[in-house]
Amino acid sequence: MAGINATLTYATVFDEVSRLNVSLNVFERAWTVRRPVPHLERANPGLTEARGQAWYLWMQNDTLATGILSFVMHEIVYFGRSLPWMIIDAIPFFNKWKIQNQKVPTAKEQLDCAILVLVSHFTVELPQIWVFHPAATYLGLEHGVPFPPLWKIVFHIAVFFVMEDAWHYWFHRALHYGPLYKTIHKLHHTYSAPFGLAAEYASPIEVMLLGFGVVGTPVVWVGLTGDLHLLTMYLWIACRLFQAIDAHSGYDFPWSLRRIFPFWGGADFHDLHHEKFIGNYSSSFRWWDWIYDTEAGAEASKKRRERKLAAIKARKAQ
């Protein structure tokens, strides 16, 4: 593979990094080195200028290293998180918690969906992932050690959730405008009862447009603040994938997160969007739909009718 130091294995580099960085935990040793590795440099002069992760040190090409790591991470998280929902769909016991329990996806639907998603990942998302490292590094992305403190990682991920949710609401709502819906967004609504794998079942334009909210949000953040670690970026992507897949799962359990945080847009929230084809445009939270009166469902429609009737009565009383 181009970029990999042919005379060394990753294990060799990791062992030497571990020997010279005993103060780091095992994850930080696997992630990075903080200074040159003299023993390896003598046999491999090309390592003299290498700085950063043991993985990066071995690859000798930062863009290639980040691209491969990011893409593999994305695939493992996406299909790894979707697999439990596929198993649940196949077990009748869980049907009592399925929101639209008369519409359980078939094995063929799951397979067709997986194929299209894979094609999209390789043809649309992979190029975006490939350009992330040079763009973010230019703006100040950090990928050294030690890792940022836990509070900072949590804070950044929380900020990204809020920023991405705003982006998603407005652009998702725009995609429901007649011509845009027919030419772009309709594919995502192939399944009126969504399931986990269908989270990224969408047209290439939609994947790029809404995907920018996920990848572009951290890029904008690091451009404004100069403060972002690659580890935080990976954890953010993993959290957002979990949220998107769970929101498309079609199941609302007694222990679902939305029962703990009422503002959370869980599966019940997004399932209504697929069932009614309108409303509930946000990705993670409910407040944008509440503020702009775009909530879906019978209860929201009833409240809108009541407000409308109250407004009519008020005008007649004047």
Q: What is the pLDDT of residue 282?
A: 96
Alpha-carbon distances of 54 from 20, 47, 145, rounded to whole Å: 12, 11, 11
Domain positions in the chain: 10-59, 66-305
Q: pLDDT tens across 91-121, in order?
A: 999 999 999 999 999 999 999 999 999 999 9
pTM of the predicted model, to two decimals? 0.82
Q: List, in order, residues 6 or more apart from 96 with CB less than 8 Å away.
A: none
Q: What is the pLDDT of residue 315?
A: 78
Q: What is the pLDDT of residue 97?
A: 96
Mean pLDDT over all residues of the chain? Answer: 83
Q: What is the pLDDT of residue 20?
A: 53
Q: pLDDT tens across 197-253, in order?
A: 999 999 999 999 998 899 889 989 999 998 999 889 999 999 999 999 999 999 999
Mean pLDDT of 171-200: 95
Burial of 252 (0-12, 13-18, 19+ CB in 10 A): middle
Q: How far apart are CA 230 and CA 165, in angstroms?
A: 21
In this prediction, residue 50 has a pLDDT band, given cuts at 50, 70 and 90, of very low
Weakest-pLDDT range from 13-17, 49-53, 67-71, 171-175: 49-53
| pLDDT over 50 at 81, yes or no | yes
- Dihedral sign (CA 295, 157, 172, 202): negative
